[in-house]
Every structure is written in C-alpha cells, then in structure tokens.
Structure 1
C-alpha cells in the first residue's frame, strides 16, 4: 500500500458573479499518482498549472469534487474525526513565503512549539529541549530560541518552518515552492537539509516547484502538470530530458545555463 494515493481527482472553481452563466473553471482534471514511503515526488509545472491547488487538496484544505485521496489507506475527506486528526499530524507543509507562514509576534521557540502543544503532552522543560534539538537539527542553535521572525534571514526562517514541520515526526511533507523565494546559495543549503532529513527520518515529500534543477536535486520521480492535467511522470532524469511531449520540451527550454554567457535570448520577430 502506498503512503499517498491520489485517484482520479477533479476540482473546479465556480465562475465569478461578473461572468455569471459561464461554466465553472476546471483546475484539476482526472489526476492520479502515488507516493511511496521514504520517497519524494517532484511536481513541476508553470504558473497556473494547478500545482498549489493540488497541494491544497492533498493537505485537506481544498476538497475536490471528484475522485479520492487516500493517506495511509484512509480517505482524507471521508474518514471519521479521530482518523482525520491523526492524518493532520502526519501530513505537514512548508510554504513558499517563510515570513507569511509564521506569526511575526511569536518567537522561534513558540513557532516550533505549536505542533508539539497540539499533539504531544510534554512538560515545559521537555518541550524546550525538543525545540532546541529541532533548531540544531536544521542548522540553528539554542541562541535562536527567543528571536522573532524579523531577526532571521529568509533562509533561516525557512529552516524554522522546516523544524516546525518535522516536530511531530510526520510521514509526508508537502513542500510548496519552499525554496523558490531564496537565493541560489540558500536554496542549495535548504535542499541539502531536506535531503538529509528525508534520509534520517524516512520522510516522504511532495515537492511542488517550477524549478527543474531543484526538483531533480531532491526527487525520486518527477510529474509534469500542465493546465490541470498530470501529462507525464518520469522515474529518471534521462526519461525527462528525452521526452517528446511539447509541454516538457517547453519546460526544458526554460532552464537557464549556469553562466550568463551561454544563455540565449529568444526574440519575437513577428
């Protein structure tokens, strides 16, 4: 049994009052895939492809109109309250904007403590020691406990968000463009951290991104989303780069060379 199974889900947004009478906008179309325990599925697509909507559906935030999402064999939207609460513990998320994902009035200690307070029964000293261990695990230290979000860089604050996500030892973390707002050096460091945590805790990831290089640095397999459809899925880098699908070819063309000297500018002479 797969850790996560997404079976034929479809999701539409209702048309706005301004365009009354028009059909609902279909955002996700007959999407199916699975994620095995201890693996990462990279989900690549351009802006508007439906990546974040799919992430919200898997997190239980946006209910699809059709299909089924199973997490550890349980239906995410049709299980009883106790089962849903257990699934919420074992299904965490790290968002793109590290600053908007936290309360600016809370210290790093309070931010990381949130899931521990919700799901664990720890004494004050036990909770503090756990938070210190988590900070150290993500490359920060005890000296950062009482700092507020504005006192951290974007990369440091994303480490705090990751520490919060792993605090209750989840099975699956949805990483929604979690490195795209960071500079290249910080991206590399965060991706190294995520890979290490994946190995150490046997974590599974759904890595949502538009960045092909980031996806291949962390993912065991790659899915390509185009206009709400999962058009192809690849088990290797070679498969992706040899694909003849037009959407995949466009994604490949979007990859910039490492050095600006080797980058080309496409002009529209029409």
Structure 2
C-alpha cells in the first residue's frame, strides 16, 4: 500500500455570476491521481497558476475537493474519525515558501519548534529542551539560537527552523510547497542537501512542489508535471522527463538556463543540451 494515494481529485472554485443561469465556476484541479511510496520524494513541477499549491492544500486536509479521495496510510483524510485525523496531522507536516509568514514573529526559535512537541509528546521541560537543541543542531543551527526571534535570522536560517519544526515528530510525509524558491541559489543548494540528508536519516517521504526544475531534480525520485489543473505527465525516473515529447514538457525543458550567464542562450536547443547534461550528473 502506498503511503499517499490521490485518487481522481477534482476541485472547482465558484465565481460570481454576471448573467442569470451562467456558470462561471473555475476548475482548478481536474481528475488528479498519483501515489507516493514510503521513503521517496515526488517532485511536482508546474508554472504559476498550475494548481500546485491548491493540490498541496487538498493533500494537507485544508481544502476539501468536490470529487475524489486522498488516502494517507490507507485512511481517507476527509472521512476519518477524530483519533485517526489526529494521527494523520502528526504524520503529515508541511514547510511553506515564506519562512517568515509561517511563524509567529513574537515567538523564539525554541517556542516555534516546541509547538508540535507540546501538542503530541509528553516530555519534561528538560527533555523537550534537549530535543529542541538536537533538532537545531541537526538543521545546522545551535543552542545559542534558542532564544532568537524570527527577525534575527536570515531567510535560509529561518527556513531551517521551519524544517526542524516539521521533522520534530518524525512524520511520514512532508509537503514542501515552494520551500526553497524564495532563497538565493547557494542557500537553496544547502537546504536541498539538508532535506536529502533528513530524508535518509528519518526515513521521510516528500511531496516537493516547485516551479524550479533543477531543484526538483536535486531532491526528487519521481516527477510529475501539472498544467492548468491537470497532471499531464508522471515519470518513474528523471530520465523520462528528458525523453518526453509532450509540448508543455518540452517548453519547460527549454526554459532552463545555464548556471553561468556566459553559457546562456536564447536558443532552445542549447538550453536542452545544458539541462540534459545536468540530468546525467544527478
């Protein structure tokens, strides 16, 4: 049984009717189906407005779909009993794009990371503090950061705190919603490296939602492409992404620029070569 199963999920948002009897509802997700196996990462690639973040909300139990099912560890997250829902909330965590808006600016790093521990663990003050220090160190920070507030951290450091909070309960699956897109390229690489290490150390699974193909390639085991609310392609390996003849996928491939401006070109063929080389290195 797959850890996460998304089955024929569809979602529409209703708009105000300009004319009587005219349906202006907008379909955001259309018949989405895929699965994530335990210990793996699915990279979900799509441009802005493709429906990626909305799909993330559906999986997290924030936005109920009109049709379809989301099964986590075999349980329908929208029809589970209270005890099962509590277990799902413990085992299903999220890291959002904006590290600053994801935390309370009046809370210290210690308090931010302690939230899930206080909700689900019965630890003494000493045990909890020790666990938080271990988590800080595991994400590349230290005990001296315990009493700092969000404004005292860089964006990358604060995202490490969000990651520490997300892994505090050793969940089964973490939804990473554009979690590195607001960071500079060097920080992105360091955070992706950290996420890969944590995935191996804790046996985590990820849904990595992104518009950045290179980031997806660095962390993902399988790939999916979302376009206008439809999952147009799903790949069991990264190589399949480069052999796809789908016009939207080809356009995504052609949009990748070389790392150094010197090697950038407007010629799509050159971009394809640079990207293909990257895939061979990964």
Is TM-score (shorter-chain normalized) higher than 0.5? Answer: yes
Residues in 1 aligned to 2:62 and 2:123: alpha-carbon distance in whole angstroms = 28
Written as runs of structure 1 = structure 2, the 5 A alignment for 1:111-130 is: 111-130=112-131
Please state whether the residue corresponding to 2:249 is helix, strand or coil. helix
Aligned length: 266
Q: Is the 8 A contact 2:116 2:169 kept in 1?
A: yes
Find runs of 4+ consecutive structure 1 residues off by over 4 angstroms: 17-20
The answer to whether the aligner puts 1:181 opposite 2:182 as a matched pair is yes
Residues in 2 aligned to 1:19 and 1:8: alpha-carbon distance in whole angstroms = 31
Shift of 1:257: 1.0
Residues in 1 aligned to 2:109 and 2:95: alpha-carbon distance in whole angstroms = 15
The answer to whether the aligner puts 1:6 opposite 2:6 as a matched pair is yes
CA distance 1:66–1:189, shift in 2 (3 Å): same
Equivalent residue, structure 1, for 2:172 = 171
Return 5+ residue gaps in structure 2 as ranges: 268-282
Please state whether the residue corresponding to 1:249 is helix, strand or coil. helix
- RMSD of the alignment, in Å? 1.2
The answer to whether the aligner puts 1:46 opposite 2:47 as a matched pair is yes
The answer to whether the aligner puts 1:244 opposite 2:245 as a matched pair is yes
Equivalent residue, structure 2, for 1:138 = 139
Please state whether the residue corresponding to 2:252 is helix, strand or coil. helix
Shift of 1:238: 1.8
Residues in 2 aligned to 1:80 and 1:118: alpha-carbon distance in whole angstroms = 18
Please state whether the residue corresponding to 1:206 is helix, strand or coil. strand
Equivalent residue, structure 2, for 1:191 = 192
> What is the TM-score normalised by the length of structure 1?
0.96
Shift of 1:234: 1.2
Residues in 2 aligned to 1:136 and 1:257: alpha-carbon distance in whole angstroms = 34
Residues in 2 aligned to 1:74 and 1:67: alpha-carbon distance in whole angstroms = 13
Residues in 1 aligned to 2:112 and 2:129: alpha-carbon distance in whole angstroms = 12
Shift of 1:264: 2.6
Q: After the TM superposition, which of the residue ranges 146-155 and 12-21 deviates more from structure 2?
A: 12-21
